């Protein structure tokens, strides 16, 4: 088993897309040997671009433009689309499939959709592992696209080295009402659908709001206007992403995210032999004998 995995990992690092696909499935489905496989992964400090924003903001269209731009520069791109089938994005899955098929025959592009969401409402239960697999493959750039909703925001921000928050000039004056979580995580703001008449006013409002912010990160965050359906503004966006990545240091949030992951994994390992049903049966027996004290039971366990 281990030998086969080793071979698969070598293929993955050499850019074998099928090996990468198989490895992701191995991890996603927790198949036999998956934890051994993960232990073989080499260290990587490859940078990750996170694209997030409200439903329908144009994240997928924008990601597509970025892929296109990078391909022009002879780069290899790996993309994870997290949760395209969430209730927020009804019908998006089909659209994403069609979109992805456009890259299907391009060996420099790999796109994988991760449809299921974690029980706890996080990004995806195996997102850290799968990102690590992507980092082991010879991609020049890794993009994770996700809807900014609930807890996912802080997670994507921690996982990505550069977080791009995509907004649309619909909110107009209501910028103040934008989900603050989304506003806080942005390293770069994209004002997509800049072909709309409200775009200039929205840009002005957004910029003045950012200037008033107490957060240095918000003050510094560039605002870039794009029309992704016309591939406009993409070159400037990419320049800003690369500039940010060249200055980026790993955030404390990343270490906290990893610490939480490790905490969960240790918990799982330690609790491996503890069975809830078995506990209930033991308690039932002890209770019948009128010998049961909950706290002593825990102590003796």
Residues that bind ligand GTP (CB under 6 A): 55-61, 89, 92, 95, 147, 192-193, 195, 227-229
**Distance from C-alpha of 53 to C-alpha of 61, rounded to nearest angstrom:** 12
Residues 75, 140: contact at Cβ < 8 Å? yes
* Closer of 85 and 240 to ligand GTP (Cβ): 85
**Distance from C-alpha of 27 to C-alpha of 19, rounded to nearest angstrom:** 12
User: Residue 63, interface with Mg ion (CB under 5 A)?
Assistant: no
Of Mg ion, ligand GTP, none, which one does residue 55 interact with (CB within 5 to 8 Å by kind)? Answer: ligand GTP
SS3 content of the chain, % helix, strand, coil (to 5): 55, 15, 35
Strands 188-191 and 223-225: parallel
Residues 39, 133: contact at Cβ < 8 Å? no
CB atoms within 10 A of CB 199: 17
Q: Closest distance between ligand GTP and the C-beta of residue 206, in Å?
A: 16
Return the residues of window 11-50 that contact Mg ion according to CB under 5 A.
none
Vertex 65, ends 58 and 122: CA angle to 5°? Answer: 50
Question: Which of these ranges, 58-66, 149-157, 170-178, 274-282, lies near Mg ion under the rule CB under 5 A?
Answer: 58-66
DSSP-derived secondary structure letter, 214? S
Q: Closest distance between Mg ion and the C-beta of residue 191, in Å?
A: 17
CB atoms within 10 A of CB 254: 16
Number of residues that this document lists for the chain: 301
User: How large is the angle between the packed helices 92-101 and 59-72, nearest 10 degrees?
Assistant: 10
Tokens of 203: 């840009």
Of Mg ion, ligand GTP, none, which one does residue 147 interact with (CB within 5 to 8 Å by kind)? Answer: ligand GTP
State the number of binding residues for Mg ion (CB under 5 A): 3
- 265 Cβ contact partners less than 8 Å away, ≥ 6 residues apart: none
Q: Closest distance between ligand GTP and the C-beta of residue 56, in Å?
A: 5
Q: Closest distance between ligand GTP and the C-beta of residue 72, in Å?
A: 19
The candidate with the shortest Cα–Cα distance to 139, out of 247, 40, 16, is: 16
**Which H/E stretch holds residue 217?**
helix 216-220
Q: Closest distance between ligand GTP and the C-beta of residue 146, in Å?
A: 9
Of Mg ion, ligand GTP, none, which one does residue 95 interact with (CB within 5 to 8 Å by kind)? Answer: ligand GTP
* Closer of 60 and 85 to Mg ion (Cβ): 60
Q: Where are the beta strands (DSSP E) in the chain?
A: 48-53, 77-82, 109-114, 141-147, 162-167, 188-191, 223-225
* Closer of 57 and 159 to Mg ion (Cβ): 57
Binding mask 83-112 for Mg ion (x = CB under 5 A): ---------x--------------------
* Closer of 59 and 141 to Mg ion (Cβ): 59
Of ligand GTP, Mg ion, none, which one does residue 228 interact with (CB within 5 to 8 Å by kind)? Answer: ligand GTP
By CB under 5 A, name the one of 60, 85, 163, 192 that touches Mg ion: 60
Q: Closest distance between ligand GTP and the C-beta of residue 172, in Å?
A: 16
* Closer of 47 and 193 to ligand GTP (Cβ): 193
**Distance from C-alpha of 112 to C-alpha of 105, rounded to nearest angstrom:** 14
Of Mg ion, ligand GTP, none, which one does residue 34 interact with (CB within 5 to 8 Å by kind)? Answer: none
Q: Which residues bind Mg ion (CB under 5 A)?
A: 59-60, 92
């Amino acid at each position: 088993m281990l030998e086969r995995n080793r071979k698969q990992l070598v293929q993955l690092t050499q850019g074998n897309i099928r090996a990468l696909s198989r490895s992701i499935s191995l991890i996603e489905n927790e198949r036999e040997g998956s934890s051994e496989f993960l232990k073989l992964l080499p260290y990587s400090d490859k940078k990750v671009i996170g694209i997030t924003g409200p439903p329908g903001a144009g994240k997928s269209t924008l990601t597509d433009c970025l892929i296109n731009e990078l391909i022009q520069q002879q780069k290899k791109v790996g993309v994870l689309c997290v949760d395209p089938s969430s209730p927020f994005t009804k019908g998006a899955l089909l659209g994403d499939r069609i979109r992805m098929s456009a890259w299907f025959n391009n060996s420099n592009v790999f796109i994988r959709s991760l449809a299921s969401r974690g029980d706890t409402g996080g990004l995806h239960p195996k997102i850290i592992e799968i990102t690590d697999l992507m980092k082991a493959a010879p991609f020049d750039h890794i993009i994770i696209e996700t809807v900014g909703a609930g807890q996912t925001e802080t997670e994507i921000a921690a996982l990505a080295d550069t977080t791009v928050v995509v907004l649309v000039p619909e909110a107009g004056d209501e910028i103040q009402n934008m989900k603050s979580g989304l506003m806080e995580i942005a390293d770069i703001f994209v004002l997509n659908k800049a072909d709309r008449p409200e775009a200039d006013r929205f840009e002005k409002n957004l910029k003045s709001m950012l200037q008033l912010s107490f957060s240095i990160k918000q003050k510094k965050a560039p605002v870039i206007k794009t029309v992704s359906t016309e591939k406009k503004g993409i070159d400037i966006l990419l320049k800003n992403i690369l500039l940010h990545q060249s200055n980026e240091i790993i955030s404390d949030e990343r270490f906290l995210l990893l610490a939480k992951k490790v905490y969960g994994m240790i918990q799982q390992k330690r609790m491996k032999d503890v069975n809830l049903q078995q506990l209930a049966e033991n308690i039932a027996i002890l209770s019948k004998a009128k010998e049961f004290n909950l706290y002593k039971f825990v102590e003796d366990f």
